[in-house]
Amino acid sequence: MNKQTGNNTPTRNNSAKQASSSVSNADIMKLLNEINSKISVNSTKIDSMSDKFSNLETKLESFNTRVAAVEQTTHDLEAAASHTGAEIDTAKRQINNLIKKDAAQDKDYATLESEVKRMRAELKGLRVQSNIDAQYHRNAANVIVGGIPAQEHEDLKDKLLKLTSAANFTNFNITQIDMVHRFPTRTQSDAPQPIIVRFTNKSDRLNFWSQKDKLKGKSLHQLGVADTHQERRPHVVSRSGDFLQSKT
């Protein structure tokens, strides 16, 4: 009995070992399968995450490119702003120079305006002198007779003819006179205005001038060309050119 019992014990132990060994392998296989499944899932997740990281890297590169572009644009704008600032400074200096030039031109304009006024006044004087000179040359054939009182509606040619006839002027007649009129302004407040006589030619004027002394010392009354109350003495003042020169 003991022998049999002793002989069966090892067999039972072996069976238990085999059963234990069989369970363990199945569990192991199951565990391995689960591990493989998890690894596969994790591997899929890892691949997905890797794709996401790859996309993130692409986006990051694009972002970095945009940042670089923005930085370049900023740099360009700063350079442009610096250049513009220099241009603004230059423009300010030019404006200041223009203001200074404008002020100088205003001063020059005032000086020029004053000079123009002076020149206008000088030109006016020259014109007056030119008119006087022109009148002098125009009146080269004239003589001026003074001391003959003025009358309203007087006939100066007739007065002159009576005067010269009374003074015995020779070779003189009314046809030699081109024009006769009173001087436009008085030379003295108490004296009558002189008479300007313009002859038709120089020789007639010289003939008249050469006989002027026939009037010296004789009053209008003595010459018979005025009433007894008229004691003025007629006289040939001068040739009109000399008279005009003495007036200027």
* Number of Cβ atoms within 10 Å of the Cβ of 105: 12
CA distances from 16 to 5, 21, 28, 214, 221 (A): 17, 8, 18, 196, 198
What digits encode the pLDDT tens for the residues 79-112? 888 888 788 888 888 998 989 888 888 888 889 8
Residue 170 lies in a domain: yes
pLDDT for the residue numbered 22: 54
pLDDT for the residue numbered 39: 87
How many domains, the chain? 1
What is the band of 246 on the pLDDT scale with cuts at 50, 70, 90?
very low
What digits encode the pLDDT tens for the residues 7-57? 555 555 555 555 555 557 777 888 888 888 888 888 888 888 888 888 888
User: CATH number of the domain that 235 lies in?
Assistant: 3.30.70.1820
Residues in Cβ contact with 162 at an 8 Å cutoff, skipping those fewer than 6 apart: 225
Residue 87 lies in a domain: no
Weakest mean pLDDT among 63-72, 107-116, 120-129: 120-129
Q: How far apart are CA 169 and CA 148, in angstroms?
A: 17
Residue 224 lies in a domain: yes
**pTM exceeds 0.85, yes or no:** no
What digits encode the pLDDT tens for the residues 203-243? 999 999 999 898 887 777 666 655 444 556 677 755 544 43
Residue 14 lies in a domain: no
Residues spanned by the domain of 216: 142-247
The burial class, CB within 10 Å (0-12 / 13-18 / 19+), for 146 is: buried
